[in-house]
Chain A
């Protein structure tokens, strides 16, 4: 078995190999660009607890600072993309649909988990994960060719983009609330402290970035800010991802430097995500009952999103937009990196165990596959004489 440092080295190399694999596969265009994530997790599983056991069993504890840093980084990325000007430019009905449909999926999945006797913490993580959808995957499909039904693709992408905010809010607020605490005043102080921290660091980052032009210095500053956020938020027991997202949204909306921060943040996103995937795979312990429970949860989320899709179709119809694709809600099935981050976050805080996290990951893969099949269908379907109208 490898020691912590060597495990980290191996993780680093696997992350590099995974990031390259991802890039090569994505050159393949429309052919299932999300498949590589599954392969990466399988590599991790092969080397980890379920396979050769090369990593230490307490991997999450050994690499906790690194994991915290990675999760907070993803929180910052989410925040950096939260542009209020863009949000205001969206029509109100689209905004509300974008918040309500994922909230419905989260509520249904969380309630089903609670009913199945899964603990409050794990149910909360599950509800947050169920709310998240991947707008990026849709972007990949949209870039790879003109879809038969562009309106559906665009609207679904918008809803997916909006879903990350309520998911992160639910996760952040929920984990802070259910964390062991001495009482209300302390909880209130922690919440206020976390918000103050995010505001101070958000503005500090804007001021610091103003004079930095070299990418390496921008990256160094961001790493520093993320480390400080991760550490300070953990110390006062508020969710670091949410704190970082608030700081990121301040940078995105209070300065003209968001693009520079975003560029630097994206520069290490691919290896970081791959590292998280390998970590998840290595940590996973196969457990049949957990897999079965997650299968049921896939069904619950699928049904609620199918219903949500019809809500979107109805709302669009009332505003003069015709969505011709069948079952538009299926486009919201793929989850994306934030869901993985929430899952790992749950693992670090101890809300979910290795068996449940593994089952949940399989659920994410199934959702991803169904979503991609649906997108292929929408891309290549010839839906009648007016198919080209929206192109």
Chain B
């Protein structure tokens, strides 16, 4: 019966969209409809996902895909653009949660494993993936005839995108499963550190590729300015975290709305001064949690309480934004990329964890926390398409297709890892 009403609601929205002569164009109203549809449908889809023993966010993603512009078209590309603010807001809240989950005491205990696995991903996976794709890229004709330099550039960019993961998805599944323990702490630490490393690496590699294929970007200056951006972002986040901590410990009223306001503020600061919003929020959460531990309990509870509805819309929007047509166009290359990435993440993570003497759950299950890909990878793919007009578009197509698959299987694997390691429903 509940599904009957969801279908009725969807039918009403479809009617509204299908009668362009009747309905005047109103972007704000259209975005509100999309928002409402994702919220209502997402709640139901999450429930079904729970019954099927897959993460709720997988349900939100699938619903987004179904309602999105590439299937039923109930959510238009304009709506996705109009709701981008909400996506940024949700990403900020997730980053704040990630920062808030990191405790200095826990990081101190496992910093070797965190830094080691991050470094092995940044170097090992990047080089191995780039090498493998340099060898096999010529079998995909849709990329066109590439010069050796272009081939190397494409392989390097695929390598870097292979390392990227979705911090939001990892954190969302942890929150949903109320998980805590060695595995969670390690994967969270790597998630945060990797986010910084990927940004720097991408800028560096992108600069190199431009140099190889005759572009104008200079790798060195890009990295220097990015390092400054990262530093300033962390500094701004620390300052914001201090303010948040002081407010929470001295006043402490309405933590949910305060957190929301902090994220909006960081978004505005980041956009206004070219800083990385995600890093600002992570640093803010980390500072508040570690400098004001008593007040942070309430703050984390506030984040936990407000996160489910935010995840519904955020992952719904991600699902709606995934270009499903791309998968059909380049499915063979997409599958190769997915399989190679899975194998590399599994192998490199396992070997490094063993070499560093990590605990058994980390050795066996940590790799599953690095499979999901979403916003960051899509953003990198978009940059590739924009900055490398020759073959960048085709390359981005393959990457987007792989992101679609990884974003579906990633949360399922990570949920399985949390249950198998016994860390689900133990923390938080």
Contacts and interface: CB of A to CB of B under 8 A. Distances in A.
Interface of A: 3, 5-6, 8-9, 12-13, 15-16, 20, 64-65, 68-69, 186, 189, 196-197, 200-201, 203-204, 207-208, 210-212, 216-217, 219-221, 223-232, 234-237, 271
A231 B33 contact: yes
B16 A207 contact: no
A13 B261 contact: yes
Contacts of B9: 200-201, 204, 228
Contact of B8 (A69, A204, A212): A204
Contacts of A20: 253
Given A20-B253, A217-B43, A232-B33, 19 more contacts: A5-B264, A16-B257, A16-B258, A69-B32, A196-B12, A200-B12, A201-B9, A204-B5, A210-B2, A211-B47, A216-B306, A224-B40, A225-B40, A227-B33, A227-B35, A228-B13, A231-B31, A231-B34, A235-B23
Interface in B104-162: none
Those 7 A-B pairs whose CB atoms lie nearest each other, nearest first: A228-B36, A224-B39, A231-B32, A220-B309, A227-B36, A231-B33, A234-B29
Contacts of B5: 200, 203-204, 207-208
A223 B37 CA distance: 11
18 contacts: A5-B85, A6-B265, A12-B257, A16-B258, A64-B28, A200-B5, A201-B9, A217-B43, A220-B39, A224-B37, A224-B39, A224-B43, A225-B36, A227-B35, A231-B30, A231-B36, A234-B26, A235-B33
Which of B16, B38, B258 has the largest number of chain A CB atoms within 10 A?
Answer: B16
Interface string B183-198: 0000000000000000
Nearest to A203: B5
Nearest to B1: A207
Which of A201, A203, A227 has the largest number of chain B CB atoms within 10 A?
Answer: A227
Grouping DSSP codes into helix (H, G, I), strand (E, B) and loop, the A interface class, with mixed when no group exceeds half, is helix
Contacts of A5: 85, 264, 267-268
Contact of A16 (B24, B44, B254): B254
Contacts of A271: 254, 257
Given A204-B9, A208-B2, A235 B24 contact: yes
B37 A228 contact: yes
B213 interface: no
B305 interface: yes
Contacts of B265: 6, 9
A237 B24 CA distance: 8
Which of A5, A201, A216, A224 has the largest number of chain B CB atoms within 10 A?
Answer: A224
A235 B30 contact: yes
B318 to A, nearest CB: 17
A232 B22 contact: no
Interface string B227-264: 00000000000000000000000000110011011001
A235 B25 CA distance: 7
Interface in B10-28: 12-13, 16, 22-24, 26, 28
Nearest to A19: B254
Given A227-B39, A232-B12, A204 B6 contact: yes
Nearest to B267: A5
B29 A220 contact: no
Nearest to A5: B268
Given A69-B32, A228-B36, A208 B16 contact: no
B28 to A, nearest CB: 5
Given A216-B308, A232-B12, A68 B22 contact: no
Nearest to A189: B22
A6 B36 contact: no
Contact of B16 (A9, A13, A211, A236): A236
A235 B16 contact: yes
Contacts of B396: none
A3 B267 CA distance: 12
A69 B35 CA distance: 11
Interface string B262-277: 0011011000000000
B312 interface: yes
A65 B86 CA distance: 12
Contact of A219 (B34, B40, B309): B309
Contacts of B264: 5-6, 8-9, 12
Given A228-B9, A235-B33, A68 B28 contact: yes
